[in-house]
Amino acid sequence: MSSSPDPLQTMRFERTASAAACDPAGGRAQPPQDGAAAGCAAWRPTPAIKATLAWHAGAGALTALAPSLWPWSLAAVAANHLLLTAAGLWPRSSLLGPNLVRLPAAAIVRRQMALTFDDGPDPESTPRVLDLLDAAGWRASFFCIGRHARRYPALMREIVARGHRVENHGDTHTMAFATYGSRRLRTDIRAAQDTLTDLTGQRPRFFRPLGGLRSPLLDPVLAQLDLQLACWTRRGFDSVERDPQRVYRRLVRGLAPGDILLLHDGYAARTSRGESVALVVLPWLLAALREAQLQPVPLAEAVPKKE
């Protein structure tokens, strides 16, 4: 009978593979394997992941020393997996790995913030979002889906031509993404990375999973592909909420320098009149940003690239 791979064993393997690809000890980058990006960083597990590995080792040792206590070991492992699952369901969590949810201090001093748009490109909404941003004189980050980008290559090039940045939102954009194993995660993210780079000439630096949902396996894959997880400070839920006023209030509540706001140029909900909620909200939001004297910039401009 076949069994699925142990996620913790997979994480141990990913740590070794990531280190081998980047060779931090020797200070020389090795030829990347299996789509790893040149200049990738070795994966460094968070304290929570280190504790998880130690917890599993302890449970295994307890079972080996006292087999009759196996139910307690199993319960301890199950409780740990529940904690990891909860962390993966919390988009702003950093328990599973570094997660950009606010801009760094230097950007805050400059009163910068970031507008980010997910799920594009969309031939109806994206051009109108670009026009609104042009009129305001501001730039944003577009987290694009690989398969959509291949369908609308001219629109991808238009995003970049207008001064914006394109980032990675995966290739297939499926709700099952958080359940993928390491190999499938790498294949999906790398496919989008290659597509977006080829179409725009820009190599995305940031990755955002669908809904911010992820597993402990994502962080080592991002390290191999030289990508940084970026979620958000606030989102308006404009992909499901049909009332533009509610979306707007969520986005501007506590508005401050350093905020990363999430809207959708693709898969946006529709108002009762059939309008894209995001397109209704965006002019109001841009006016609020101007009144607050905030400056929207792309994530890649506000966040220094890690050496």
Residue 296 preceded by cis peptide, ω within 30: no
3-state class of 209 per DSSP? coil
3-state class of 99 per DSSP? coil
Specify the residue for token string 């987290």. Answer: 143
Q: 26 or 159: whose pLDDT is higher? A: 159
Asked if residue 139 lies in contact with residue 191, where contact means CB atoms within 8 angstroms, the answer is no
Q: Which amino acid is at 294?
A: L
Tokens representing residue 217 in the block: 């396996």
State residue 49's pLDDT score: 67
For the stretch 5-64, pLDDT in tens is 455 455 544 454 444 444 333 333 334 444 444 455 677 877 766 666 666 676 677 678
For the stretch 202-241, pLDDT in tens is 999 999 999 999 999 999 999 999 999 999 999 999 999 9
Q: 20 or 271: whose pLDDT is higher? A: 271
CA–CA dist 98, 44 (Å, integer): 10
State residue 83's pLDDT score: 67
Label residue 92 by pLDDT band (50, 70, 90). confident
Asked if residue 99 lies in contact with residue 222, where contact means CB atoms within 8 angstroms, the answer is no
Q: Which amino acid is at 152?
A: Y
Residue 176 has pLDDT above 90, yes or no: yes
CA–CA dist 29, 159 (Å, integer): 32
State residue 87's pLDDT score: 63
Residue 201: is it exposed, middle or buried by C-beta count within 10 angstroms (0-12/13-18/19+)? exposed
Q: 19 or 91: whose pLDDT is higher? A: 91
State residue 170's pLDDT score: 98
Q: How many helices (H) and strands (E) does the chain have?
A: 12, 8
Q: Which amino acid is at 6?
A: D
CA–CA dist 268, 74 (Å, integer): 43
Q: Which ranges of the chain would DSSP assign to H, the alpha helix?
A: 7-22, 47-65, 70-88, 105-109, 125-136, 146-151, 153-161, 182-200, 218-224, 244-252, 277-291, 299-302
**What structural domains does the chain harbor?**
8-24+42-88 (no CATH), 105-302 (3.20.20.370)
Residue 172 has pLDDT above 60, yes or no: yes
Identify any residues that bridge with 295 across adjacent strands, giving them in sequence order. 112
Specify the residue for token string 């400070």. Answer: 233
Mean pLDDT of 83-95: 74
What is the pTM (predicted TM-score) of this model? 0.82
Cβ atoms within 10 Å, residue 147: 14
For the stretch 113-155, pLDDT in tens is 999 999 999 999 999 999 999 999 999 999 999 999 999 999 9
CA–CA dist 144, 122 (Å, integer): 10
State residue 296's pLDDT score: 98
